[in-house]
A and B are shown apart, each in its own frame.
Chain A
Amino acid sequence: MFVAPRAGELAPARPSGTALLTDISLSDQTAEFAARVESARKAGAGDFRFRVMALAAAVAVMVIFAGVIVSLLAGAMPAFRAFGLSFVVTEAWSPTEETFGALASIYGTLVTSVLAMLIAVPVGIGIAIFLTELCPRPLRRPIAIAIELLAGIPSIIYGIWGLFVFAPWFQLNVQQPIIDATDGIPVIGTLLGGAPYGIGIFTASVILSVMILPFISAVTRDVLETVPGVLKEAAYGLGCTTWEVMWRVALPFARTGVVGGAMLALGRALGETMAITFVIGNAHNIDSSLFSPGTTISATIANEFTEATGALYTSSLIAMGLILFVITFIVLAAAQLMLRTMEQRAGK
């Protein structure tokens, strides 16, 4: 007959096995048996309570997520009601006239993120390949840790550094020569024209690319390590060069994971706030030049929210927050599905 032992008795080790046997034989005696049943019932109740607490905490995570969506929707309602669809397709942003259009911010968010990805994806994959294939073994860990520290540095530090150190240097040594060199060339001259402000869309993109670099290289490194050694050895055995092994064998194998990692980084880039707020210039316009100041959704909210007077102004900023959340949600959800697929494949 099975009798559940008292929970508390398990903690101290029993002196010997015989004590356990005595316990069981004693348990047929009624008083002892009743006490056992009672303590088992208590342990069961405690077990149930614990389970409920764990479940409640898991539900809490869902509730927070739902709360974010519901509260943003509620806060954004006045703005959407006042402007309708024109909110996302007009550029005008005038607190004094109470007309708000998010287009300039949405444009800035998308352009900075795309530019940052153009820089960070090749560099991040390069770092990952360097670390998995080319780097001398003793140097691998230190370099990997150093690259990952880049992800640990808070956004605001990138911001203050970008504003005081990077932007002035960039203005003098990169922007000015490029503007001079491309002046007069169609398209490129326009894209890289204007005055060298130092701060602006392009500067923000460069800083952003460094911030998301570690995410791309870390995920890529992880998935490259799941490539079976025999695949690479077979390719090397056929006489392939390192480049051919990486480009034709390892990367195609790890493709889903690499794309997933890039999407994860894109999600970060879209929502990045403080670093951009420092270096983008916060101008509500869409300029043909990438060197001109602009703004992003997050930078606009960070700059203007506490100073927003009037319900419509606040609501418009919250509406932009909702748009940002929806965009990042889609990107991050896609990233997760890809990384999950990769994980499952690695598990098999």
Chain B
Amino acid sequence: MKTAFANPGLYIRRRITNTLFVVLSFAAAVFGLVWLGLILYALLRAGITAFGPHIFTMPTPPPGMEGGLSNAILGSVIMSVLAVAAGTPIGLFAGTYLAEYGRHHRFSFFVRFVNDILLSAPSIVIGLFVYEVVVRRMGHFSAIAGAVSLTVIVIPVVVRTTENMLLLVPNGLREAATALGAPRNFVIKAVTWKAARAGIMTGVLLAIARISGETAPLLFTSLGNNFSSSDLTQPIDSLPTRIFNFAMSPYDDWHALAWAGALLVTATVLVLSIAARLLEKKQRT
């Protein structure tokens, strides 16, 4: 009978394969980290040189002139606030339905399925949908249409996290409240929502992070605007579409502003993601 020891060739081959595998796994991790490092380095280098208070105070300039990104920042904030204000309640209630009322219902299975599809669906398709439903009806691009498309992106994020976080709430809490005679809506509002508060906030933060960098659906809903506007029925600027337009332009000073905008968007998204992660950790412990 041959064993590994009786066959040193096999033993060495196995060791070599294993070493190779360990090295390759390590290389894979390094590969991922190097990309992150390179992107953040380029962002910081090109972004910081172009950064300054003028980014927040001056509107987008014509080529060759001095300017900032104030109209783009204002537009992004307006649309994000509207989208979160509209999307959070719908997402919260839908997630609550999935976790509290229809947990094992067949209908919930379909809602969960559809929600997860919407969560990963190409955002540009969402833009086409809103174009058909809102822009075409109104006859022109508008801040409202942009906010609607962002709302459609917010909802599935909030639904998914809300459901997950409500499922973490121990059933004993619900049973205890119900045994005291509390009606179901009271149990949900005063007990489960309260217990899952940090988790639900996580979902909202993730949703804001998600829409902060969202560009594709805004291209043909809110369009963009070279001037400051807070009129919701008119086209409005946003940071991501502005970065796209400026980066694709042939002017160096526009490129610099695009980098500054990119740094601002990335910083916002990363801070929100990290805050969401911390909150989620708090929820889970």
A336 to B156, CA, bound (A): 15
A146 to B31, CA, bound (A): 12
A321 to B219, CA, bound (A): 14
A10 with B190: CB separation less than 8 A: yes
Query: A19 interface residue, CB < 8 Å from B?
Result: no
Query: B83 interface residue, CB < 8 Å from A?
Result: no
Query: B52 interface residue, CB < 8 Å from A?
Result: no
Task: Say which size band chain B's interface belongs to.
Answer: 35 or more
Identify which of residues 3-25 in chain A touch chain B, using a CB-to-CB cut-off of 8 Å.
4-5, 7, 10-11
B219 with A306: CB separation less than 8 A: yes
Stretch at the interface among B67-75, B87-95, B226-234: B87-95
A152 with B101: CB separation less than 8 A: no
A272 with B122: CB separation less than 8 A: yes
B181 with A4: CB separation less than 8 A: yes
B124 with A302: CB separation less than 8 A: yes
With A298-B216, A301-B128: A58-B111 Cβ-Cβ less than 8 Å: yes
Contacts of A131 in B (CB 8 A): 29
Contacts of A57 in B (CB 8 A): 89-94, 96-97
B121 with A152: CB separation less than 8 A: no
Contacts of B89 in A (CB 8 A): 57
Q: How many A-B residue pairs have CB under 8 A?
A: 283
With A75-B132, A241-B14: A46-B28 Cβ-Cβ less than 8 Å: no
B39 with A161: CB separation less than 8 A: yes
A55 to B94, CA, bound (A): 7
Which of A161, A242, A324 sits near B122, CB closer than 8 Å? A324
Contacts of B244 in A (CB 8 A): 156, 159, 274, 277
A75 with B128: CB separation less than 8 A: yes
User: What is the chain A residue whose CB lies nearest that of B243?
Assistant: A156
B122 with A298: CB separation less than 8 A: yes
Query: A267 interface residue, CB < 8 Å from B?
Result: yes
Contacts of A244 in B (CB 8 A): 14, 18
A163 to B212, CA, bound (A): 21
User: What is the chain A residue whose CB lies nearest that of B24?
Assistant: A126
A271 with B29: CB separation less than 8 A: no
A164 with B4: CB separation less than 8 A: no
Query: B22 interface residue, CB < 8 Å from A?
Result: yes
B182 with A10: CB separation less than 8 A: yes
Identify which of residues 266-281 in chain A touch chain B, using a CB-to-CB cut-off of 8 Å.
267-268, 270-274, 277-278
Which of A10, A68, A165 sits near B38, CB closer than 8 Å? A165
Query: B77 interface residue, CB < 8 Å from A?
Result: no
Identify which of residues 96-147 in chain A touch chain B, using a CB-to-CB cut-off of 8 Å.
122-127, 129-131, 133-135, 143, 145-147
A10 with B186: CB separation less than 8 A: yes
**Distance in Å: Cβ of B278 to nearest Cβ of chain A:** 11
**Distance in Å: Cβ of A223 to nearest Cβ of chain B:** 16
A95 to B3, CA, bound (A): 71
Query: B6 interface residue, CB < 8 Å from A?
Result: no
A270 to B28, CA, bound (A): 23
Stretch at the interface among A184-192, A283-291, A325-333: A325-333
B22 with A134: CB separation less than 8 A: yes
B188 with A50: CB separation less than 8 A: yes
Interface residues as binary, B158-186 with A (CB distance below 8 Å gives 1, 0 otherwise): 01000000000000000001001111111
A325 with B121: CB separation less than 8 A: yes
Query: A71 interface residue, CB < 8 Å from B?
Result: yes
Query: B273 interface residue, CB < 8 Å from A?
Result: yes
Contacts of A242 in B (CB 8 A): 18, 21-22
Query: B114 interface residue, CB < 8 Å from A?
Result: yes
B114 with A306: CB separation less than 8 A: no
Minimum-distance CB pairs A-B, first 9: A154-B213, A271-B122, A126-B28, A57-B93, A50-B185, A241-B18, A54-B97, A57-B94, A71-B132
Residues of B bordering A, CB below 8 Å: 4, 14-15, 17-18, 20-22, 24-29, 31-33, 35-36, 38-39, 42-43, 46, 89-94, 96-98, 100-102, 107-108, 110-111, 113-118, 120-126, 128-129, 131-133, 152, 155-156, 159, 177, 180-186, 188-190, 209, 212-216, 219-220, 223, 240, 243-244, 247-248, 255, 258-259, 262, 265-266, 269-270, 273, 277
